[in-house]
Homo-oligomer: A and B are copies of this chain.
Amino acid sequence: MRDRRRGRVEWPDVARKRWTVDELIAGVRGGDRRALARAISYVENADPLASPLVRALYPETGKAAVIGVTVFIRSMGSRGHRGGLAEATLQAVLLLDAAGKDVVFVETVGAGQSDVEVTGIADTVLLVLMPGSGDSVQALKAGIMEIPDVIAVNKSDHPAAKTMLTEVRSIVALGPVERRPQVLLTDALRGENVPALWGLLETDRASLERDGLLDERRRENLAAEVFAVASSRARSRLEEQVADDPELRSVLAAVQRRELDPLTAVDEILEKVFHLDRSDDR
């Protein structure tokens, strides 16, 4: 079987159970781990079966508490594929939710504004800061980074940890009192304050639910996700079509030769690819 996306050949594994879509749906619904693992693989590989699976299970989602964890900076093979990654993450979260998981953690891949796409899937956002990572504190201060629900300053034995705690507390104190995040020192390695962190996440969620804010946030998040995935697909379509279509390639070449300005080129490309009329384009 050829994996469409990666272009490599995957040998049929005779030891692996062959699932029909209906069996997979029933398996995920019943919390079967193998079914769930297979379903998530389909999502990760952008298999054509992923969509009908998620479509069928979607009405049963919305029960899990989805917690987004951000600012860890990780080296990922995801550069340039953020759209696709966000899409697969959303589907995987929905599958875990449909499988009856109580809590789903979503970790973001990088620091800064691009997190929005992934944390948009989460009900609650936990920001983990490392002492010495000054940019995050600056980004919070400047309002570039979304204020999360709970902030953990990890590595509590680091010499700069207490200073950072104070600094972050003074920044969040400037925000509205009703949604002011709790900030605490933790040490993940020694497990220090981790139960307290969990307690804060639970309390925060309970207060969101009580005030009706959880439903509101989920509605906003879902709309934002739909826009994010749609824009990302629109962009892929643009790139594919410009690569394939000699007329569009020549538009781009004229820009590169400084004969046609970039914004007129944008108009021509949008008209050709999406049939957008330039008169009502902006």
The residues of A with any CB-CB pair to B shorter than 8 Å are 46, 51, 54-55, 58-59, 61-62, 71, 73-76, 79, 82, 87, 90-91, 94, 109-114, 130, 132-136, 138-139, 141-144, 218-219, 222-223, 225-227, 229-231, 233-239, 242, 252, 255-256, 258-266, 269-270, 273-276, 281-282
Q: Which residue of B lies closest to A138 (CB)?
A: B73
Q: What number of copies of this chain does the assembly contain? A: 2
What are 9 A-B contacts defined by CB distance under 8 Å? A73-B139, A75-B143, A111-B139, A133-B135, A226-B266, A234-B274, A234-B276, A274-B275, A275-B275
Question: A134: which B residues are within 8 A, CB to CB?
Answer: 130, 132-135
**Once the chains bind, are B233 and A94 in contact (CB under 8 Å)?**
no
**Once the chains bind, are B261 and A55 in contact (CB under 8 Å)?**
yes
Q: How far, in Å, is A166 (CB) from chain B's closest CB? A: 15
Q: How far, in Å, is A227 (CB) from chain B's closest CB? A: 6
Which listed residue, B133, B255, B259, touches A223 by the CB 8 Å rule? B255
**Once the chains bind, are B282 and A46 in contact (CB under 8 Å)?**
yes
Give A242 to B229 CA distance when docked, in angstroms: 14
**Once the chains bind, are B270 and A233 in contact (CB under 8 Å)?**
yes
Give A170 to B256 CA distance when docked, in angstroms: 36
With A75-B142, A226-B265: A281-B114 Cβ-Cβ less than 8 Å: no
Which listed residue, B136, B218, B282, touches A236 by the CB 8 Å rule? B282
Question: A274: which B residues are within 8 A, CB to CB?
Answer: 234, 237, 273-276
Which listed residue, B54, B135, B138, B256, touches A219 by the CB 8 Å rule? B256
Question: A266: which B residues are within 8 A, CB to CB?
Answer: 226, 229-230, 233
The 5 A-B residue pairs with the shortest CB-CB distance, nearest first, are: A112-B112, A135-B135, A58-B261, A274-B274, A231-B235
Give A55 to B255 CA distance when docked, in angstroms: 11
Question: A62: which B residues are within 8 A, CB to CB?
Answer: 258
Q: Which of A46, A82, A230, A281 has the most CB of B within 10 A?
A: A230
**Once the chains bind, are B238 and A144 in contact (CB under 8 Å)?**
no
